Amino acid sequence: MLVLRGPNGAGKTSLLRLIAGLAEPAGGTLAFEEASLPADTLLGEHVHFIAHQDAIKLHLSVEENLSFWSGFFGGGDVAGAMTAMNLDALGQFQAQRLSAGQKRRLGLARLALVEKPVWLLDEPTVGLDTASQKLLAKMMTRHLDGGGIIIASTHIDLPVKSSDVLDFARLADRAG
Amino acid sequence: MRSAFTSVVVRDFSLAIRQGGSIGTAIGFFLTVIVLLPLGLGPDQQLLQRIAPGALWIALLLSVLLSADRLYQTDHDDGSLEIMALSSTPLEVVVLAKASVHWLTSGLPLAIAAPVFGFLLNLDAALIVPLGIAMVTGSLALSLLASLGAAITVGLRQGGLLVSLLVLPLYVPVMIFGVLASSGAQSGIDNSGTALIILVAIVLAALVVTPFASAAALRSYMR
């Protein structure tokens, strides 16, 4: 697991989007395990990307939102994903009636829906209460134990072991 | 890949039904144009009968355009589009699914309603069937072309005007052959069969080209 730190606007989100293949570098190349990737490699389908937007439809219920993504990804564990983020009691609620934190949990439940080796998390804890942060940390630990990769930008310390930290502020100091 | 297609279709269709707006707006706008036309042109029944197919086609075209700019807007705003781009499902499949739902919720209901509304324009009863067939077919091309315009303008706040300007030239052939196919015999010569075949050809060409073009536009926007 790699934690990205740095002030607002330092480029944490841009780096995550570059890795996901949602943006193209202005210069330089993206290297994976020290082997430079060919230009057309798409990491995309092996990546769970949690951005600032939760990618949920407000007019669908919690369960329908997850069923859609599970169908889209070709099969997933809707019930398991709801339990992982403690959404069981909210299944029939329309997403527009959820609070900001509950919407965030619904967005994060996608991580448990389908297995993907790489998780790119952009400020995943925004809006989450302490209990939900623990649920997220549990999910992340399980993913890491299973050999998965996580790159997350976050301002608070998640109780997840083995973190390498890439500090953008310190990088800038060294460069300047 | 098929399950991704049906998931998007089912989701967008139930969203369209639940929000209620799109189908109602399209039919309401369509009806408004058709009701206003005879009032503006006067009660000349011969004139109305002559222009009925063309007037219905113009109304269909404008109503389909009305909802076109919102095709990808919500998916772009809530981040779904990026997640869909990050999957093994090609974006082309997503485009095709969303264009089909646009057709199901605007073109198809209008094409079914048009012969009924045609009575307001004194539409020749013999033209009801050919008009219906031509509109069901032609509106498919309208939705596919609208998806292209919507994909190109997806990030823009006021994309609606630009969509109209981009798509209008592409709509011209659809309308010309659509009107021909639904007008029956004119001065003794019936070209409607030929026109319908050309219309189907336009639909097939749009079916092949627009998913790739729209997906390319969406990708280049996200990068």
Is the CA virtual torsion A31, A33, A38, A44 positive or negative?
negative
Mean pLDDT of chain A: 80
Contacts of A24 in chain B (CB under 8 A): 223
> DSSP of A119-134, one letter per residue?
EEEESTTTT--HHHHH
Please report where in the chains the tokens 């097939």 appear, as a residue. Answer: B204
E strand or H helix that includes residue A32: strand A31-32
**Distance (Å, whole) CA A16 – CA A23:** 9
Contacts of B92 (CB under 8 A, 6+ apart): B211, B212, B214, B215
- pLDDT attached to residue B176: 92
| pLDDT of A39 over the 60 cut | no
Cβ neighbors of B190 (< 8 A, separation 6 or more) are B184
Tokens of B134: 């031509």
Q: Inform me whether the pLDDT recorded for A36 exceeds 60.
A: no
Residue A146 has pLDDT above 80, yes or no: yes
Nearest-by-Cβ selection for A72 from B14, B89, B222: B89
Residues of chain A contacting residue B70, judged by C-beta atoms under 8 Å apart: none
Q: Decide: helix, strand or coil at residue A165.
A: strand
**Cβ(A135)–Cβ(A80) below 8 Å:** no
pLDDT < 50: residue spans in chain B: none
- The answer to whether A51 contacts chain B (CB < 8 Å) is yes
Q: Which of A81-95, A122-136, A159-173, B98-112 has the lowest mean pLDDT?
A: A159-173
CA distances from B69 to A92, A132, B60, B82, B95 (A): 31, 38, 16, 18, 14
In chain B, the residue whose alpha carbon lies closest to the alpha carbon of A75 is: B3
pLDDT at residue number A156: 75
Single-letter amino acid, residue A119: W
* Contact status of A73 with chain B (Cβ, < 8 Å): yes
pLDDT at res. B102: 92
Q: What percent of chain A has pLDDT over 90?
A: 0
Please give the Cα distance from B212 to B35 (Å, whole number). Answer: 38
Nearest to B221 by CA among B31, B91, B116, B127: B91
pLDDT for res B188: 65
CATH class of this structure's domain A2-175: alpha beta
| Chain A residue with minimum CA distance to B79 | A55
Dist. CA B65–CA B58, nearest whole Å: 11
C-alpha span between A42 and A30 (Å, rounded): 11
A11 SS3 class: coil
Which residues of chain A are within 8 Å of residue B4 when distances are taken between CB atoms?
71-74
Contacts of A47 in chain B (CB under 8 A): 86
pLDDT digits (tens, 9 = 90+) for B61-114: 988 888 887 888 888 888 888 888 888 788 899 999 999 999 999 889 999 888
The amino acid at B18: R
pLDDT at residue A54 in the model: 84
**Chain B within 8 Å of A79 (Cβ-Cβ)?**
no
Burial B83-119 (b: 16+ CB within 10 A, else e): bbbbbebebbbbbbbbbbbbbbbbbbbbbebbbebbe
- Per the model's pLDDT, the better-predicted residue between B60 and A7 turns out to be B60
Kind and range of the H or E run holding A49: strand A47-50
Cβ-defined contact of A59 to B18 (cutoff 8 Å): yes
Residue A11 region, left (φ>0) first, then alpha (ψ -120 to 50), else beta? left
Q: What phi and psi, each to the nearest 5 degrees, are found at residue A162?
A: 50, 70
Q: Which residues of B touch A (CB under 8 A)?
A: 1, 3-4, 6-8, 10-11, 14-15, 18-19, 74, 77-80, 82-89, 222-223
Residue B168 burial (CB < 10 Å; 0-12/13-18/19+)? Answer: middle
The whole-number pLDDT of residue A38 equals 54
User: Which positions ≥6 away from A31 have C-beta within 8 Å?
Assistant: A37
A24 at the B interface (CB within 8 A)?
A: yes
Burial of B14 (0-12, 13-18, 19+ CB in 10 A): middle
Range with the poorest average pLDDT among A4-18, A127-141, B126-140, B197-211? A4-18
Contact B79/A53, CB-based, under 8 Å? yes
The ranges assigned to domains in chain A are 2-175
Pairwise CA distance, residues A98 & A94, whole Å: 7
Q: Which residues of A touch B86 (CB under 8 A)?
A: 20-22, 44-45, 47, 49
Query: Using a CB-CB distance cutoff of 8 angstroms, which residues of chain A are in contact with residue B82?
Result: 22, 49, 51, 55
A120 in contact with B, Cβ within 8 Å: no
Residue A35: the pLDDT is 52
Q: Which residues in chain B touch residue A60, judged by CB atoms under 8 angstroms apart?
A: 11, 14-15, 18
Report the range of poorest mean pLDDT among A17-21, A100-104, A170-174, B10-14.
A170-174
Q: How far is B8 from chain A (nearest CA, A)?
A: 7
Radius of gyration of chain A (CA): 17
Return the residue of A nearest to B10 by Cα: A68
A74 and B18 within 8 Å at the Cβ level: the answer is no
Q: Where are the alpha helices (DSSP H) in B86-191?
A: 91-102, 108-117, 128-152, 159-182
Q: Chain B residue with minimal CA distance to A114?
A: B87
Residue bearing the bigger pLDDT, A37 or A124 = A124
